[in-house]
A and B are shown apart, each in its own frame.
Chain A
Amino acid sequence: MSAADAPLTTATAVELASAIADGETSARDVIDAHLARIEETDEDVAAYLVVTADGAREAADAIDRRRRDGEALGPLAGVPLAVKDVFCTEGVVTTAGSRILQGWVPPYTATAVALLEAAGAIVVGKTNMDEFAMGSSTENSAWGPSRNPWDLGRVPGGSSGGSSATVAAHQVPLAIGTDTGGSIRQPAALCGLVGVKPTYGRVSRWGMIAFASSLDQAGPFTRTVADAAVALQVMAGHDPLDSTSLPTAPADFSADLDRGVEGLRIGVVREFLDTTGLDAEVRATIQQALARYEALGAELVDASLPHGEYGINAYYLIAPAECSSNLARFDGVRFGLRVEGETTEEMMAATRAAGFGAEVKRRVMIGTHALSAGYYDAYYAQAQRVRTLIARDFTAAFGTCDVLVGPTSPTTAFALGDKTDDPLAMYLNDVFTIPSSLAGTPSLSLPAGFDEAGLPVGLQVMAPLDGEAVMLRAAAALEADLALDLVPRGPRAVSAPG
């Protein structure tokens, strides 16, 4: 790639790192091009809560100096990176989309971010999100919603919607988010991106503001599978600071990307395609993708997750229960907002009333109720048993399949405001993504085509625990075959890059 061929903002992360390493362009030019694109389009997209332009330029200059001095550069040297505002970034305001953390400046940096920076990635800013990662549209952000670059009247998905919006708008080639019940995969689907939720424990949770600790996992958003594999490789690995971090070494995620799917057993999850509420155009697009897999030599297998439909019920007990405990730390004492009161208890209750938005209050209260005396067995313990049944379903399905596939989200991007008055309707966005969250298994979304309105449709690929390599291999084969153009277009799309 040469800088004169195409605008830098349409290049992939791998292409940019290679062009910088080869001296075809400089890290500073790459960063300046992306900062200019952010400047030009973020009034429309609203992906960012903070843009760290000065720090990004300094980091780029440092990489260019190191290259001139002949020092070794990391695999992502000079690649612009956007970070969901749930990750702590030392010295840079971090709010997790909540008023209760307005102005909070973390004293340390999350492990996932530190690893990406050590590999040369350059943080350009913090992205918008649903408050404390609770939501599917970014409309629960205390700072207003982000917009879908494919249609600025629609949501970018959530909760990591700022991260999906910025990559789709070609403001950066790489962003990171977190996925608790679908918060990477659903926004990736709605914005036409690759979004990966790794095996639980594969990426350290240190420095991620916790929502539901037994489910939260960090992962990348990219426009290509190869970029996702490289970014995930950098983020993955054991971290003694996270006791749930996997001690085993990660596989080589890029090794099998070109292997194709000949002979691969791809399980089609029957219940997902039969779900009422699955949009007909989404179903048709998924079925076309399945036909392509067959044409590429994969063996399509009928697969079943019989308890999958109960995942969403279990999730909306387990996640609120864990969040009611995790969010107890926001009490007006150590950080963030304080609203004064006569007693400490009044101060805490007034602080949390003023600092939390409606959805966070709902979930904290659902969780508090579900864990309270007399209800624990009926709610939380039962939900954990359903979790066991779903994990067993996956184990059984992976007995006859290498990967499972289905839709990522029941619909394409919906209009801003469409579901804000109905929490349950919003929760149903997660119906296909929650099962692998509960099982802890890796899954990703990749673009499979478009609906009649030109909005992207996401295909979900699910793999067994530690099966990232085969999952990415299956995704790469379909990506190469479809060769979709992922530059947003249409009458209400963000302006084209370049």
Chain B
Amino acid sequence: MSLSSDEVRHVARLARIALTDEEVTALAPELSRILDYAAKVSEVADPDVPPTSHPYPLVNVLRSDDEVAEPLPPEVVVANAPDAVDQRFRVPRIVADQS
């Protein structure tokens, strides 16, 4: 299948990647070729074959809740943040004013 420029823009929006018009033009045929190639998986696998998500199935892996571990101190957690204030990560305003 081939991806249109609009579909490339839609996927880029979902993936939170800003693209220039030139990048969209270049990516549409590139991504289409890769998807065409990958789509060969539909030639072989019948729907009755169970999907494998994980090669070595382990079930009910739980952490031991009764052991209290030492967490990273807050100042260490925010040490690499591009913008932090009072041990919190700061981002542009997400919700509008209530009033």
Q: Which of B74-93 contact A (CB under 8 A)?
A: 76-83, 89, 91-93
Q: Mark A348-374, 1 if CB is under 8 A from B, else 0.
A: 111011001000011011101110100
Q: Which residue of A lies closest to B42 (CB)?
A: A382
Q: Which residue of A lies closest to B82 (CB)?
A: A338
Chain B contacts of A104 at CB under 8 A? 80
Q: Which of B34-57 contact A (CB under 8 A)?
A: 34-35, 37-47, 49-56
Chain A contacts of B7 at CB under 8 A? 369
**A31→B62 CA distance, assembly (Å):** 42
Say how far B65's CB is from chain A's closest CB, in angstroms.
Answer: 12
Chain B contacts of A201 at CB under 8 A? 56, 58
Count residues of chain B with CB under 8 A from any CB of chain A: 55
The answer to the question of A265 belonging to the interface, with a C-beta cut-off of 8 Å to chain B, is no
Judge whether B92 and A343 touch: CB under 8 Å.
yes
Q: Which residue of A lies closest to B34 (CB)?
A: A366
Q: Which of A406-438 contact B (CB under 8 A)?
A: 423-424, 438
Judge whether A344 and B54 touch: CB under 8 Å.
no
Say how far A463's CB is from chain B's closest CB, in angstroms.
Answer: 14
The answer to the question of B68 belonging to the interface, with a C-beta cut-off of 8 Å to chain A, is no
Number of A-B residue pairs at CB separation under 8 A: 180
* With A333-B89, A336-B80 as contacts: A379 and B31 at CB distance below 8 Å: no
Judge whether A349 and B82 touch: CB under 8 Å.
no
Contact of A362 among B30, B37, B52, B77 (CB under 8 A): B30
**A111→B51 CA distance, assembly (Å):** 30
**A363→B27 CA distance, assembly (Å):** 11
Q: Mark A240-261, 1 if CB is under 8 A from B, else 0.
A: 1001101100000000000000
Judge whether A365 and B12 touch: CB under 8 Å.
yes
**A441→B26 CA distance, assembly (Å):** 37
Contact of A347 among B11, B41, B77, B91 (CB under 8 A): B91
Contact of A365 among B11, B46, B76, B92 (CB under 8 A): B11
Contact of A344 among B41, B55, B56, B92 (CB under 8 A): B92
* With A386-B44, A439-B55, A465-B56 as contacts: A353 and B15 at CB distance below 8 Å: no
Judge whether B39 and A378 touch: CB under 8 Å.
yes
Say how far A84's CB is from chain B's closest CB, in angstroms.
Answer: 20
Judge whether A423 and B82 touch: CB under 8 Å.
no
Say how far A86's CB is from chain B's closest CB, in angstroms.
Answer: 17
Chain B contacts of A345 at CB under 8 A? 16
Chain B contacts of A366 at CB under 8 A? 31, 34-35, 38
Chain A contacts of B77 at CB under 8 A? 107
Q: Mark A329-351, 1 if CB is under 8 A from B, else 0.
A: 00111111110111111111110
Chain A contacts of B39 at CB under 8 A? 313, 378-379
Contact of A342 among B19, B40, B50, B92 (CB under 8 A): B92
Judge whether A389 and B45 touch: CB under 8 Å.
yes
Chain B contacts of A478 at CB under 8 A? none
Chain A contacts of B99 at CB under 8 A? none
* With A105-B79, A338-B83, A389-B45 as contacts: A381 and B56 at CB distance below 8 Å: no
**A344→B90 CA distance, assembly (Å):** 10
Residues of B participating in the A interface, judged by any CB pair closer than 8 Å: 3, 7-8, 11-19, 27, 30-31, 33-35, 37-47, 49-56, 58, 61, 63-64, 72, 76-83, 89, 91-94
Closest 4 CB pairs of A and B: A440-B55, A384-B51, A385-B45, A338-B82
